[in-house]
Chain A
Amino acid sequence: MVKRLGALLLLLAIGGIFTSLLVGYVPDTELNDTARYYAYHTAADIGSANIVTAIVITYRGLDTLGEVTVLFLAAAILGLVLARGRRQAQARRALTPVGELLTTGSRVLVPLIMLLGVYVFINGHLTPGGGFQGGAVIASGVLLLLLAGPRKPFAHSLIAAVESLAGVFYVVIGLMGLVLAGGFLDSRVLPLGVLGALFSAGTIPIIYTLIGLKVGAEFSVMLSDLAETEELG
């Protein structure tokens, strides 16, 4: 009872802070200096129609490399922590049959979902999409496959190869920027092209494709790790 009262008091205090923030909030009418720099220079310097993509991939590219690394570490630790649970589970219990609807539905939908994922990350510099979003879409297709065929063997070595190769090429492109352009992960290794064209913005489409493959592979590994961990008796 005392505990619940304390929790409520804490929430009231935080809610009070939030309310005072909300009441006094007036949205900006002008962009701040950082945002104005990006707005003025993206088109000429980076050639990417989507300014958020230019920030994520080029201006703050090192952060994104770190982000992909964090995601890789999370997937690796997940595999490590759950590894013992997987090995123990030899005697598998019987699953309820998947059902016609899910099997047929997954056959129709999975190729379309994969196609949408690829579309989203290839057009990351033109539309509100990108490698992380496309990778998540691809992983949702893998989730559907896992639901439709829980006993089907998961191609761990293929996924691991895709993931490591994408990571290696991402870093190689970053190093090429160091040699051929202004610095690490500079996307001006390739010509900038016409603003708004599919093949434009230097190496951004390539980097986003690699990130899409890597993120899709990492999410898929996480999902399959969680799915293959058997229920404890």
Chain B
Amino acid sequence: MIHLAMATGFLLILIGFYGAVSNRNILRMIVAFTIADSGVNLVIVAIGYMPGRTAPILDATVKAGYAAARIIDPVPQALVLTAIVIGVGVTALMLAYAYKLYEKKRSLDIAKFTELRG
């Protein structure tokens, strides 16, 4: 089960990378980056998972004293919570810059932007 989740995450990262390098349209590249982002989050959460354990929330079935033997690792979940939020911010910025680039050249084709070519 855990290998399935992790393999899905790795596959999403690869799909995202492929989309980012094979598409010339900037909007498609942004979508590809968000797919890779989801893949990374999935892999990190899968690393924190431990078979036979439950979510890191204390209640009647997970008593505070025995929590260390019953719960999965809470640290990757806290990390991914941060990563998702920052991912939204990055995506919004990428979209804004894509708009600016379109405004300048009237095109979203990455091959048309040659100013930085050496």
Contacts and interface: CB of A to CB of B under 8 A. Distances in A.
A31 B56 CA distance: 12
A86 to B, nearest CB: 11
A20 B7 CA distance: 11
Give the size category of A's interface with B: 35 or more
A55 to B, nearest CB: 4
A44 interface: yes
A126 B67 CA distance: 15
B18 A130 contact: no
Give the size category of B's interface with A: 35 or more
Contacts of B93: 74, 77-78, 81
B64 A27 contact: no
Contacts of B59: 49, 196
Of B3, B7, B64, B102, most buried by chain A (CB within 10 Å of CB) is B64
B97 interface: yes
Interface SS, B side: helix
Of A31, A70, A196, most buried by chain B (CB within 10 Å of CB) is A31
A164 interface: no
A49 B57 contact: yes
Nearest to B82: A67
B6 interface: yes
Interface of A: 4, 7, 10-11, 14-15, 18-19, 21-22, 25, 27-29, 31-32, 34-36, 38-40, 42-44, 49-52, 55-56, 60, 63-64, 67, 70-71, 73-75, 77-78, 81-82, 85, 126-128, 130, 132, 136, 195-196, 215, 219, 222, 225-226, 229, 232
